[in-house]
Structures are given as structure tokens and as C-alpha cells.
Amino acid sequence: MSRPALVGLHGAPRSGTSWLGALFDSSEQVAYRFQPFFAYAFRGRIDRNSDAPGIVRFFDDLLVTDDAFVTQRGDARLARDGPTFAKTRPSHLVYKEVRFHDLMAPILDAVPDARCIGLVRDPRSVLASWFAAPREFKPEWSQRTEWRRAPIKNAGLDENWFGYERWKELAQLFLELGTRFPERFRLVRYEHLVRSPGDVARSLFEFCGLVPGGQTSRFIEESTTRDDGDPYGVFRQRARLRPDANIPAEIASEIESDLSGTALEQFLEPGAG
């Protein structure tokens, strides 16, 4: 039996990866898995030095797992109102991850037909979303102290990618992967996905060998017009998305100055800040 095609969805925390993941999950052909490298059931199974057979076995096991966190069921589900979709026999195994981005290149090397998508959001909006997430940013923490390197949240662990400096590192990694794997890595901007979700979804599905169906169209409509008020949910009135980030003006100014004239300036949304 042939293995399902592998697709990885990567992005910094609070970049919109849960929504992108749900878009792919809406395909009846997709077996979708949530943050497997962080999950207790799979944590530490592979690293950047793993050989190709070990990486392939990891994804074979991921395909058949019933782990509640990875499949986002029951009490392990983060969102209060997560969507559910009808499924057929999967042709694709899709995972989403906001940690362990150093595994992308080894996975692409080990699995020749694998695809990866990197989602990039304006860093000011990423920070604003992080500051507003109650389980991610504690009320007693200082935005001014945490915004750049997130010393408390990241806790010195390479697997964690909170804070502006790690956002920069990841955006640069995405650009490098696009050069190294031009046929198998695709970079997409969150703001473009918000503005044209149907068009961007069709393009990404085509990149991965999928065809969006009725479930995907209905999910796009519902997820962009209904707001469930859940900071971990995927139902937002995204058409009303403001490009300006609700962060202190001095932080926004430092980011704009730091990125000015660099390759990463392209990810600053005009009019934000």
C-alpha cells in the first residue's frame, strides 16, 4: 500500500497556522495532525540528525495514531468549537507545527515527495495576537521585556519560537528553504490568505496535489464570517482584520526600523503599526 503524500504546515506561534491547518483538514482526503513534534506521544522521536528510515517510520506511526492531542479530540482540544469534517481514505497526511522548525529541511531531505508550507504574518500582528492569548502570555509578564526574545516564554529552549527575534529567524529560514527546495517549499503570507482565502487555498491545494471540495468552500465561508470569540479558535471575522497591530507604538517603531531595507521588510503590512 502506498503511503499518503506528506505535507507540513509551519509558522511562528500566533501566525494563523490553526486556520491554515483547518483549511487542509476540510479536505476529505486529508488525515490532519496537530503539532506532533510537541505531543507527548511523539516528542523526541525524531530530531535534525535522524536518518531517513526513522523519519519515515515516524510519519507512518503518525498516520495511524489515535492520540487525543494530535487528533485534537476531547479534553485535549485547544479550541472550544473546532470544526469536524467527513473523511475518506486519506491520500495526504498533513501536520501543522509552530515549534521544531529545524526539522523541515531533514524531513524534505528524507521524504522526496514531501511538501512544506511556511506561513508568515506581519510580526507586529503576531506579537499583538500573542499578547492577547491568555494561555500564552501571562498578565504579570511585561510586553516590553518579552517582545523581542521572549526569555520567559521560550525558557531557553530551541524548540520555542516566540518573540520578534525568533520570528525573524524563521522568516529567513523560510526564504532559504524556498531557494533550496523551490519545487517543494511554498511561502504564503497570512494577509494574502485573509484577503483571498479561496484563491490562496486553491493554489496551496494544487501545490500539494489536492483539489478543494464543498467542505473547504463551506469552511472558508463560515470561518471568515463568524466569530466565536475564542483566541484559539478558527472562526474569525477575518474580512475585518485590521493591518495595524495592537502593540505599544515604540515596539512597532523598533520593528519597522529594524526591518527597513532588509529582505524581511516585505512582510510588513502597509499601514500597520
Task: Enumerate the β-bridge partners of residue 95.
Answer: 8, 33
Nearest Cα neighbor of 176 from 110, 125, 96, 116 is: 116
Q: Does 254 score more than 70 pLDDT?
A: yes
Distances (CA, A) of 9 to 31, 79, 139, 215: 13, 18, 30, 20
Q: Does 222 score more than 80 pLDDT?
A: yes
Q: Strand order of the sheet with strand 5-11?
A: 30-34, 92-97, 5-11, 115-120, 185-189
Distances (CA, A) of 263 to 25, 102, 122, 158, 183: 32, 21, 13, 24, 21
Nearest Cα neighbor of 18 from 183, 230, 210 is: 230
Q: Per residue in 132-144, pLDDT tens? A: 888 899 999 999 9
When the pLDDT of each residue in the chain is averaged and rounded to a whole number, the result is 91
Lowest mean pLDDT: which of 18-22, 77-81, 158-162? 77-81
**Residue 152: Cβ within 10 Å count:** 16
**What mean pLDDT is predicted for residues 13-27?**
95
Residue 110: HSE in the Cβ half-sphere, 13 Å Cα cutoff: 20
Domains (range + CATH), the chain: 5-123+161-242 (3.40.50.300)
Q: Which 8-state DSSP code applies to residue 24?
A: H
Q: Which helix (H) or strand (E) holds 34?
A: strand 30-34
Cα–Cα distance for residue pair 92/156, rounded to 1 Å = 34
Cα–Cα distance for residue pair 85/240, rounded to 1 Å = 26
pLDDT category of residue 42 using cuts at 50, 70 and 90: very high
Cα–Cα distance for residue pair 239/196, rounded to 1 Å = 10
pLDDT category of residue 192 using cuts at 50, 70 and 90: very high
Q: Where do we find the cell 527597513? A: 260
Distances (CA, A) of 113 to 36, 91, 98, 99: 20, 13, 22, 22
Give how far the C-alpha of residue 141 lies from the chain's centroid of Cα atoms, to the nearest Å.
Answer: 24
Q: What is the pLDDT of residue 240?
A: 47
pTM here is 0.93
Sign of CA dihedral 251, 257, 262, 267: positive
Cα–Cα distance for residue pair 208/231, rounded to 1 Å = 28
Distances (CA, A) of 75 to 78, 83, 178, 231, 246: 8, 15, 37, 17, 31
Q: Per residue in 150-181, pLDDT tens? A: 999 999 999 999 999 999 999 999 999 999 99
